Amino acid sequence: MHSLGRRTALVSALLALAVSQAALADDGFSYRFSGFGTLGYVQTNTNDLTFLNPGQEKGATKSGSLLVDSRLGAQVDVNFNDQLSATVQGLAQQDAKGQFEPTLEWAFLRYKPLDSVSVRVGRLGWPAYLVSDYRYVGYANPWLRAPLEVYDLAVLDYFDGGDVTWTHALGPGTVSVQVLAGSADTDLPDTSQQTAKLGVHQLYGGYVTYDIGDFHLRGGASTAHIDYTSGSTAPLFAGLQQAGFGSIADSLEANNKRATFVSLGGTYDAHNILATAEYGALHSSSFLARNNGWYGTLGYHFGSWTPYVTYGGTNKPSEVNSYGVPAFGPLLPLSQGVDALVSHTYQHTTSLGVRWDVYKNIDIKAQLDHVTPSANGGDFADVSPTYDGHSVNVYSAVVDFVF
């Protein structure tokens, strides 16, 4: 698998690569089972910060971790006839409690009233990112992990609801227009004793995908009302209310606040050249404020080997001047707490990696990330009070497989 022409053709089969597939009757009923997984190890060169993936509690420092990138998934596809089918996918990976627990990622019915129209209802993957359809299938992706500068912006993998997709030829390519609606509830890391709760309600979105030759493009936006409750931020908001800064607390709290996420990405993979780039931007009228990220990847295929380089960045502008809690006396802790929520955050990462396709369904990847976070740690967690803003090296290796 050495070009996106071949890789994209395989992607549709990656989640449905059958070890068993049977047509059980003449009426078109059939099923197929498939699976995928990653065994990974990651280590950094510091104990001042903790490296982890979005939605995880436990990460890697100098001591290293097998929990950050390791996962195992399975999927069953059932075709009842040419129009009606069902898909169920389960995924086990580290969750917000730091446990390796299985979750139900997908569980939907698909109905095709026309060849060009597909209607799905149930638990669906949120299609905001370029590789949303196969983000956790490491074998389908060029990098060791999706660049966190973009994929850490909006921590939502799936939603409960429905979508409609219309596909049609457009010029020399094919365009797909997808609209969705639904809601979601998910746990996020907070403290060692409890998780934070993210509620996404009245979720609506629209995405356009265009495939033309060896180019694949996707872009669109989602908007929703969000609720975020956290044991870490609740004392700060309560303190602001008691100190007479109720309007600031109400402004900062993510309590039924509107959030919008916009994304655009594209990939070219042909003639031994791999190039992909993506941009995402989150806007919310809460302490989440404005945040944007981007990355670009360039690689080259040498037989079964694909070395690549990625450069990405994320930036959250400062909102400190928007809030006027005096920084003196008993108000100092409140002022510091507000500043910590809305201060300028950024991060830049240069990644060097290589993929080796060992077998038709197995690859090995190694990646070095040189990360320069802001003084508050960027996308890292558990920032030590002694952290002085130094760069961090992240060393990773994985084995990806599908079956």
- Given this model, what pLDDT does residue 287 score? 82
Give the CA angle between residues 58, 62, 65 to the nearest 5°. 40
Q: Write down the residue that tokens 């099923």 correspond to.
A: 31
- What span, in angstroms and rounded, lies between the C-alpha atoms of 19 and 403? 7
Instruction: Indicate the SS3 state at residue 336.
Output: helix
Characterize the bridge pairing of strands 20-23 and 255-270: unpaired
- What span, in angstroms and rounded, lies between the C-alpha atoms of 390 and 305? 33
Rounded to 5 degrees, φ, ψ at 191 are -125, 170
Residue type, 399: V
Give per-residue pLDDT as tens, 108-161: 999 999 999 999 999 999 999 999 999 999 999 999 999 999 999 998 999 999
Q: Which CATH number does the domain housing residue 377 bear?
A: 2.40.160.10
Give per-residue pLDDT as tens, 274-287: 999 999 999 988 88
Global pTM value: 0.88
- Given this model, what pLDDT does residue 27 score? 63
Q: Say whether pLDDT at 4 is over 60.
A: no
Share of the chain above pLDDT 90, in %: 73
Domain span at residue 42 reads 4-402
Neighbours of 114 (CB within 10 A): 9
Neighbours of 218 (CB within 10 A): 24
Give per-residue pLDDT as tens, 197-248: 999 999 999 999 999 999 999 999 999 999 998 888 888 888 888 888 888 8
- 216, 7 Cβ separation under 8 angstroms: no
Q: Write down the residue that tokens 């360039």 correspond to.
A: 298
Neighbours of 381 (CB within 10 A): 14
- pLDDT mean over 267-275: 97
Q: What does the block give as tokens for 133?
A: 């359809």
Q: What does the block give as tokens for 166?
A: 């219309």
Q: Which residues, 6 or more positions from 306, have their beta carbon under 8 angstroms from its beta carbon?
A: 2, 142, 274, 299, 300, 354, 355, 356, 357
- 48, 386 Cβ separation under 8 angstroms: yes
Neighbours of 216 (CB within 10 A): 20
Give per-residue pLDDT as tens, 344-390: 889 999 999 999 999 999 999 999 999 999 988 999 999 999 999 99
Q: How far is CA 289 from CA 102, 103, 204, 306, 317, in A?
A: 32, 29, 20, 38, 8
- pLDDT mean over 171-197: 91
Residue type, 9: A
Q: Give how many domains the chain has, as a whole number.
A: 1
